[in-house]
Structure 1
């Protein structure tokens, strides 16, 4: 292997004007994809049918899952098996191990967070369904409700689900409860908001790492024109996936800025990566030993984040644990599945070039 291939030498420097323009073109595409679902959901004059929002949401879930496997895990495997790396890197599937480590890390963090949150709610008298926190408009972790014990037929003890949205009832049968009940409800809303923000932050973190790395690559890649064309669609579709999740996050009024900030953060990550890449183009070689290790490790860790989020938070909880979906018609389920598979298929196809 030569120093030109594996050393710190610079990347391609042709089409410099177009590479600079790509910063603004991809910025517009990324922001439009991410912001449109968020702003359209809040707009009072732009009446977007619910079916369109559902399409965007499920399409976005498919995009996120395909991004995890095709655009993150596969490049991570390639980078950590580069001939520029020492032979020790080929003795073990480090990319898969890092992906697995990321999945279990996110799982453990979420498990600890929800055990702590549930214990905190129980101390103030709220029996919180640990499946009830949301990452969208529907229950992302199962049917919303509070589980209470009751006696069924033949004296068998059974669990009953009470709607969380129903007002509390005092012992004398009057609705409304007291100030203490409202304080409990307020604390529950705060914990629910925190759970949603954490979920969105985890998703954003994985996507942001990926977007920054592909921006760096685009800035110096010799096959610029093909990669640039593909990334316009890639970032727009991925932005649609992120935006559709952000649009369905329900937060207290003081947190209304979070979805917009999340969409804008996604929109600027790839342009920032391109700008940094152009700034260091004389010394940055994406195929170098150091770059291969860094990008391989980050891609592998990011793939675990998106695999967990896509399969557990989005796919399983939007379908298997969503009461509205399980009680819905076959047509509704078919529409949701078709939308998700379409997003997955298009994003996977784009992996042929980028």
Structure 2
């Protein structure tokens, strides 16, 4: 059936506005054409899928072929929920502080624009919220240290819950935040082709290896001292062993500090349209990560006992090196045989010093970001490579720390001279530990939707 183009447009409009009736006329038959029945008017046009149907005068439901109607309908559907080309607006979202803009007739598959995007920045707001971030970071990292000092020993289960929550935070940060964001950086079209698809994973492995290497070298140095020929008392050997625990914390803190500096920088360079949302997410991020670090700093050297290997002489035979031991005291002999005694601890001053590094690093990153606010280009190739490399390297460090030094050490293997606290704990403590571990993973992974 032939239908004029003007009336076909009315049919499409009728379908889109819920079954309104639009009379339509067919072209007059040619005098030379065969006398065949012609539909002279149609009413009640409607849409079935992408096809237009109208009611003929005899009551039949007939299809109307409208050239370009399907394409027009499809195009209209694609524009729903996004800015059209005519509107000239862009919708921008951020991955680790690097903006990705679509809209205004563009899509994610369009040619990349790697120049700086002009944005409005409320500098005063950013300066004020810098101190809020500092306060939240300090609350997260200092809180567990003071809590551990005043918490009665019978309530130590609460601290176990916090420690496992922190373990979950670190593991989620490594995989959901850092590894994912590094992959996004290296996948940015403004970098071009890297030539090696496993770049992110390779740098992550480098971070794991470097963490292992630092701790292994430290462990060998300490073992050389603790197994020397009676040069150190057992207490001095315990002090040497304490240093390996401090090295482990420093490795963990290095992984946290690298990406915390980037967090501060990328927070302030986010546009005002997304800044408040990102700020709220980073606020919780800092509290959670501060808890993870603070619980580990608080417990440095706090184990009730320490187990040391026996000292040996140059011939490899075990020797006694506790100079003040009485030969006639069976009690002291038993204690020395078990190599178990009170271990030295890290001073409160040093613990607060370690915690202060975390409390100030993100605000420092924010201050740097404010200084380069009008010059920062998140899509610059060198910027993307730098952020991606540091994120992947930090991820590797935190994978080692979270899985080996925290998760495995607390639950199975033990570390730094003390046994695994949850290896033979009661079921209540184990249940709370599992809950804290999973809760940390889930909450930090949830924050990964925005930051």
TM-score interval for Structure 1 and Structure 2 normalised by the shorter chain: 0.7 to 0.9
Q: Which residue of 2 aligns with 1:101?
A: 206
- d(CA) in 1 for partners of 2:134, 2:110: 36
Specify the SS of the correspondent of 1:123: coil
Q: Which residue of 2 aligns with 1:152?
A: none
How many residues align? The count is 295
| TM norm structure 2 | 0.62
Residues 57 and 254 of structure 1: is their aligned pair in 2 closer, same or farther, counting only changes over 3 Å?
closer
Counting helix residues as a fraction of each chain, which structure ranks higher?
1
Equivalent residues in 2 for 1:126-165, closer than 5 Å: none
Q: Which residue of 2 aligns with 1:242?
A: 293
- Higher-Rg structure is 2
CA contact (8 A) 1:215 1:277 kept: yes
Structure 1: state its 5+ residue gaps. 126-179
Q: CA deviation at 1:287?
A: 2.5
Q: CA deviation at 1:225?
A: 1.3
Residues 105 and 11 of structure 1: is their aligned pair in 2 closer, same or farther, counting only changes over 3 Å?
farther
| TM norm structure 1 | 0.78
CA contact (8 A) 1:206 1:305 kept: yes
CA contact (8 A) 1:10 1:284 kept: no
CA contact (8 A) 2:157 2:429 kept: no
CA contact (8 A) 1:61 1:343 kept: yes
Q: CA deviation at 1:79?
A: 0.6
Q: From 209, 214, 219, give the equivalent of 2:258.
A: 209
Structure 2: state its 5+ residue gaps. 1-108, 303-343, 414-418
Q: Deviation string for 1:225-248 (max 9, x for gaps)?
A: 110111111111111111111111
Q: Which residue of 2 aligns with 1:343?
A: 440
Equivalent residues in 2 for 1:167-186, closer than 5 Å: 183-186=232-235
Residues 3 and 217 of structure 1: is their aligned pair in 2 closer, same or farther, counting only changes over 3 Å?
farther
Equivalent residues in 2 for 1:290-329, closer than 5 Å: 290-321=382-413, 322-329=419-426
CA contact (8 A) 1:11 1:283 kept: no
Specify the SS of the correspondent of 2:227: helix
Specify the SS of the correspondent of 1:352: coil
- d(CA) in 2 for partners of 1:250, 1:334: 25
- d(CA) in 2 for partners of 1:214, 1:84: 21
Q: Deviation string for 1:71-93 (max 9, x for gaps)?
A: 11110111111111131x15332
Q: CA deviation at 1:35?
A: 0.2
Specify the SS of the correspondent of 2:422: helix
Q: CA deviation at 1:22?
A: 1.6
Q: Deviation string for 1:77-127 (max 9, x for gaps)?
A: 11111111131x1533211100011112221332232223212321234xx
Q: Deviation string for 1:27-77 (max 9, x for gaps)?
A: 000100100110122238x99932321111110111011001111111011
Q: Deviation string for 1:179-216 (max 9, x for gaps)?
A: x7xx4223212212211211111111110111110110
Q: Tell me if 1:124 matches 2:221.
A: no
- d(CA) in 1 for partners of 2:207, 2:301: 27
Q: Tell me if 1:353 matches 2:445.
A: no
Q: Please tell me the root mean square deviation across aligned C-alpha atoms, in Å.
A: 2.4
Q: Tell me if 1:221 matches 2:270.
A: yes
Equivalent residues in 2 for 1:50-129, closer than 5 Å: 50-87=156-193, 89-125=194-230
CA contact (8 A) 1:219 1:278 kept: yes
